[in-house]
Structure 1
Amino acid sequence: MSSTLGNREVRLPMLPNAFQKKNVITDSKDGLKADIDLDQGFNDVVSSCAGCLASGGVIAVPTDTIYGVACLAQNSEAINLLYEIKKRNYKNPIAISVARIDDIYRWSKVTVAKQVLEDLLPGPVTVVFERSPELNPALNPHTHLVGIRIPGHKFMQDLAKECGSPIALTSANISGASSCLRIEEFDRLWPQLNLVVNGGTLSDSNESRLGSTVVDLSIPGTYRIIRPGSAQESTTICLQEKHKLKETSDPPNR
């Protein structure tokens, strides 16, 4: 089916541990860890996608949970196009994806210890803080908050690093439809996308279709689960038991 995409389909080479939090391999003889040597084909895909995003394109990408559609968060025209493609209500915010934890401090006002972020990310969690003034005001203009992701997927991390800018990221589906684990499941969007990165079937479990767990950490000392997602239990244990944050159901005052 994906053959109808023609040259807009980019197949992502599979790498060892591509979906794992730490991109290392272990020598079975001595237990030493070493960085993975990246396949050049993988780097070429990252570069092509970064170039497409830089030119204002909207692309489909694999993540550690579901397929997403993405554009540069600082490009207002691309943001508008992303909403049009998904038929998404403009009042529904879109998260951003970044390369590393230090980037979170640039685009938001962090209220928790860095160890909290390191325990949750990279992984299937979106952390929500008050947005930084540097973030494009055309992105989510109806809220002072922003959700930030570092997917536990090497491609997404490398893509954000190559772009040097946050990536607006939301699920690859018409708003209200089921999320997707294979590119064939969102074929209705193909004609409107500049590139579709085919990372294969992302999971055999429907739990992944729940997407990331979205947690509001914008009020110091508390957390609020906005969307349970696929990592609610582990996120709650981390925040409650390890970091002693108190759960609240009250959204922050605007």
Structure 2
Amino acid sequence: MRLTRSLLNLTRMKTKKIKNVYDAALPASVVTASKLLTDGKVIGIPTDTIYGLACSANNREAIKKLYDIKGRNEEKPVAICVSDFSELKRYGNANHLCDELLEKLLPGPVTIVLNKSEHLTNPYLNPGTVKIGIRIPDFNFIRDVCREFSQPIALTSANKSSERSSLNIEEFNHLWNSLGGVFNGGSLSNSEENRKGSTVIDLSVPNEYRVIRQGIGYEDTIKSIEEYGFREVL
């Protein structure tokens, strides 16, 4: 009897621990993630590089919560994630970038930094800069969530500041209790190289680029943008 009760208590503990973990492979998880974002929650979500923490970019309280969970200085920028090029152009000023170049870079492990558009209305989103990093990951689940949510999603790596980035959900399980949901996309890579995250490149000025973070897509990114006549500014 005691053994049975002990096993029952252990089962309850495990269930409580993973009650907000969802299988990203299930179609219903897209709707669940979108609802959580609508409700102002921060969620853990897989991308094409590492796991991220995500929330509604135009929700003031959600952004503050994201920074609090991350343990991050509010003046340090976060990126946003969108589903396609039309959304990228809606939230970032990209008129000087041709479609052919964008199609070479995205979707993929690249964050393009542009000047914010008037459609990013949250004063708590990167308050110290007029720029915004924009991602279109090469990962169906997060892009489907972006389409379902139909608003920009703030995105940063799923770890406390100064911790290493996460390739599976167990690596950030100490954050689960602070999140509205965790969406399990399995192990994203067996390579430590993936922990570098996306290549972050500033293309806010016509014909110029500045590397902010090399990331895992660095060489291909630089090759592509230099083919289109961009020169590096240090």
Is TM more than 0.5 here? yes
Which residue does 2:102 correspond to in 1?
Answer: 117
1:187 is displaced (CA, Å) by: 1.3
Matches within 5 A, 1:174-253: 174-240=160-226, 242-249=227-234
Is the contact made by 1:64 and 1:202 (CA closer than 8 Å) also made in structure 2? yes
Judged with a 3 Å threshold, the aligned counterparts in structure 2 of structure 1 residues 96 and 62 are, in CA distance, closer, same or farther, namely same
1:79 paired with 2:91, answer no
**Cα RMSD between the aligned structures?**
1.3
More helix by share: 2
Q: Secondary structure at the match of 1:168?
A: strand
Q: Secondary structure at the match of 2:18?
A: helix
Distance in 1, matches of 2:163 and 2:32, equals: 29
Distance in 2, matches of 1:157 and 1:194, equals: 19
Q: Secondary structure at the match of 1:7?
A: coil
Is the contact made by 1:124 and 1:151 (CA closer than 8 Å) also made in structure 2? yes
**Match of 2:170, as an amino acid?**
E
Is the contact made by 1:2 and 1:9 (CA closer than 8 Å) also made in structure 2? no
Post-superposition Cα deviations, 1:127-146, rounded to whole Å, max 9, x if no partner, equal 00000122023211110000
1:102 paired with 2:114, answer no
1:7 is displaced (CA, Å) by: 2.0
**Which residue, out of 135, 145, 153, partners 1:149?**
135
For the pair shown, which has the larger CA radius of gyration, 1 or 2? 2
How many residues are paired up? Answer: 220
Distance in 2, matches of 1:2 and 1:128, equals: 41
Which residue does 2:22 correspond to in 1?
Answer: 10
Distance in 2, matches of 1:79 and 1:123, equals: 25
Distance in 1, matches of 2:28 and 2:52, equals: 20
Judged with a 3 Å threshold, the aligned counterparts in structure 2 of structure 1 residues 57 and 101 are, in CA distance, closer, same or farther, namely same
Distance in 2, matches of 1:189 and 1:202, equals: 18
List runs of 5+ in structure 1 lacking aligned partners: 14-41, 250-254
**Which residue, out of 29, 49, 52, partners 1:45?**
29
Post-superposition Cα deviations, 1:80-99, rounded to whole Å, max 9, x if no partner, equal 00000010001100100001
TM superposition score normalised by structure 1: 0.84
TM superposition score normalised by structure 2: 0.91
Q: Secondary structure at the match of 2:127?
A: coil
Is the contact made by 1:61 and 1:69 (CA closer than 8 Å) also made in structure 2? yes
Is the contact made by 1:58 and 1:78 (CA closer than 8 Å) also made in structure 2? yes
1:112 is displaced (CA, Å) by: 1.4
Distance in 2, matches of 1:2 and 1:80, equals: 30
1:9 is displaced (CA, Å) by: 0.5
Is the contact made by 1:216 and 1:225 (CA closer than 8 Å) also made in structure 2? yes
1:122 is displaced (CA, Å) by: 0.4
Q: Secondary structure at the match of 2:19?
A: helix
Q: Identity of aligned pairs, percent?
A: 45
Distance in 1, matches of 2:77 and 2:100, equals: 26
Post-superposition Cα deviations, 1:143-196, rounded to whole Å, max 9, x if no partner, equal 000000000000011000000000000000001110010111111111101100
Matches within 5 A, 1:119-134: 119-134=104-119
Distance in 1, matches of 2:193 and 2:76, equals: 23
Q: Secondary structure at the match of 1:109?
A: coil
**Match of 1:83, as an amino acid?**
Y
1:79 is displaced (CA, Å) by: 0.2
